[in-house]
């Protein structure tokens, strides 16, 4: 054995014994804190994935094919929210499905049926045929902070149980749903998402689902969006109790209209804009209360109203059938109409 081999073996033996020769690439005590932090981060992610991962599944949507055959049209993700098979996912994942199935982390497949959808928030509830399924817990999304660690679990491009991490980059964002309604309090985060992640959970470091991943910006990197758990909780309860999401309906069509500044000052209004009524349902609540085309709504329920989104936002916080006051401008006059909204018909 030559001298170089002998020294190499001595070095390996010393390393194995815990002692190190000079020149070794070793983490010194001063660097240990940073490494420990990284280890803590890794442990947090691993713990969350091991805990929540079994509750995350692939949702497959099928449509009728030629003859009696069927073909897979698309797939997304979902998360089990109750042991008897209730699953939360995106509306666009299950939209138009003639048959649904879900594939668990262990590869088992269950048939699933649609329980209810809410296109306005891009959420849907389906139910798998299995029982005693592992399930995740919905957390309190209102307590999220910008910069907080979040973990996305899903099935991008059909790759099961894919994990990505990031931070909450902004809160209170708003996105348009496919039907044009504004989805409020969207969570913006940096956990990488890809097609197939839709419907999968966004999880905090304690394993609580704080959002449902719903959208990405194709031309951007590191920008993902999730519907908050608070919204999901409300949608789930509406679907399970009533079989649908109930929303109040005024029976009018409106558009934003700039106010004449002199008229706004005359009536002590803080508005720069109002909502002009451009259409009325003949037998709707607004028409019955005396609303006319050309009226301009400037407040609803005591809240300044400048856009149609403001109307939707205020109505979404009130129960169907609860009377509400609308302040309108009709020509130079201001008046108050008391309207009792009815349930919107899908």
92 is catalytic: yes
Pick the CATH number of 248-343 from 2.60.120.650, 2.30.42.10, 3.40.50.1220, 1.10.510.10: 2.30.42.10
Q: Which of 162, 165, 201 is nearest to 38 (CA)?
A: 165
Alpha carbon separation from 327 to 136, 246, 289, 303, 334 (Å, rounded): 45, 25, 12, 10, 7
Contact predicate 201/187, CB 8 Å = no
The pLDDT value recorded for residue 329 is 95
Q: Which two tokens stand for residue 117?
A: 């959808």
pLDDT digits (tens, 9 = 90+) for 235-275: 998 899 888 888 888 999 999 999 999 999 999 999 999 99
> Among the options 77, 101, 164, 198, which is catalytic?
198
Contact predicate 126/59, CB 8 Å = yes
Cross-strand pairs, 343: 248
Domain boundaries, the chain: 32-245, 248-343
310 is catalytic: no
> Among the options 91, 122, 204, 310, which is catalytic?
122
For the chain, list residues with pLDDT below 70: 1-2, 4-5, 7-9, 11-12, 14-38, 64-72, 157-158, 179-180, 216-222, 346
| pTM for the predicted model, two decimal places | 0.75
Up-side HSE of residue 319: CA atoms within 13 Å toward CB? Answer: 2
Q: Which of 262, 228, 278, 248 is nearest to 332 (CA)?
A: 262
> Among the options 77, 92, 169, 286, which is catalytic?
92
Contact predicate 37/45, CB 8 Å = no
Report the topology of domain 32-245.
Thrombin, subunit H (2.40.10)
3-state SS track over the chain: CCHHHHHHHHHHHHHHHCCCCCCCCCCCHHHHHHHHHHHHHHHHHHHHHHHHHHHEEEEEEEEECCCCCEEEEEEEEEEECCCCCEEEECHHHHCCCCEEEEECCCCCEEEEEEEEEECCCCEEEEEECCCCCCCCEECCHHHCCCCCEEEEEECHHHCCCEEEEEEEEEEEEEEECCCCCEEEEEEEECCCCCCCCCCCEEECCCCEEEEEEEEECCCCCCCEEEEEHHHHHHHHHHHHHHCCCCCEECCEEEEEEECCHHHHHHCCCCCCEEEEEEEECCCCHHHHCCCCCCCEEEEECCEECCCHHHHHHHHHCCCCCCCEEEEEEECCEEEEEEECCEECCC
312 is catalytic: no
- Four-residue CA torsion sign, 158, 124, 316, 208: negative
Write down the mean pLDDT value for the chain. Answer: 84
326: left (phi over 0), alpha (psi -120 to 50) or beta: beta
Cross-strand pairs, 103: 58, 109
The pLDDT value recorded for residue 11 is 64
Contact predicate 223/190, CB 8 Å = yes
The pLDDT value recorded for residue 192 is 83
């Amino acid at each position: 054995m030559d001298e170089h081999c002998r020294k190499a073996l001595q070095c390996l033996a010393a390393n194995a014994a815990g002692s190190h020769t000079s020149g070794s690439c070793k983490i010194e005590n001063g660097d240990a804190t940073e490494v420990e932090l990284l280890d803590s981060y890794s442990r947090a992610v691993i713990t969350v994935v091991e805990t929540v991962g079994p509750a995350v599944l692939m949702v497959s949507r099928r449509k009728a094919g030629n003859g009696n055959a069927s073909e897979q049209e698309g797939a997304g993700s979902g998360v089990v929210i109750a042991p008897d098979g209730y699953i939360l996912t995106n509306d666009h994942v299950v939209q138009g499905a003639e048959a649904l199935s879900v594939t668990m982390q262990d590869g088992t497949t269950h048939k699933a049926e649609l329980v209810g959808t809410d296109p306005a928030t891009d959420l849907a509830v389906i139910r798998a045929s299995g029982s005693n399924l592992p399930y995740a817990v919905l957390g309190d999304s209102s307590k999220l902070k910008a910069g907080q660690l979040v973990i996305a679990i899903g099935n991008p491009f059909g790759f099961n149980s894919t994990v990505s991490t990031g931070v909450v980059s902004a809160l209170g964002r708003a996105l348009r749903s496919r039907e044009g309604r504004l989805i409020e309090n969207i969570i913006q985060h940096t956990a990488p998402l890809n097609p197939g992640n839709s419907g999968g959970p966004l999880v905090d470091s304690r394993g609580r689902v704080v959002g449902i991943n719903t959208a990405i910006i194709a031309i951007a990197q590191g920008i993902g969006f999730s519907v908050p758990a608070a919204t999901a909780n409300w949608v789930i309860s509406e679907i399970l109790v009533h079989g649908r999401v109930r929303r109040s309906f005024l029976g009018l069509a409106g558009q934003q209209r700039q106010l004449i500044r002199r008229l706004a000052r005359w009536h002590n209004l803080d508005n720069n804009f109002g909502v002009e009524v451009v259409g009325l349902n003949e037998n709707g609540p607004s028409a019955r209360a005396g609303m006319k085309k050309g009226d301009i709504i400037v407040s609803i329920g005591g809240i300044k109203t400048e856009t149609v989104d403001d109307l939707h936002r205020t109505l979404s916080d009130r129960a169907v059938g609860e009377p509400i006051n609308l302040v309108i401008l009709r020509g130079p006059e201001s008046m108050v109409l008391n309207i009792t909204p009815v349930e919107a018909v899908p």
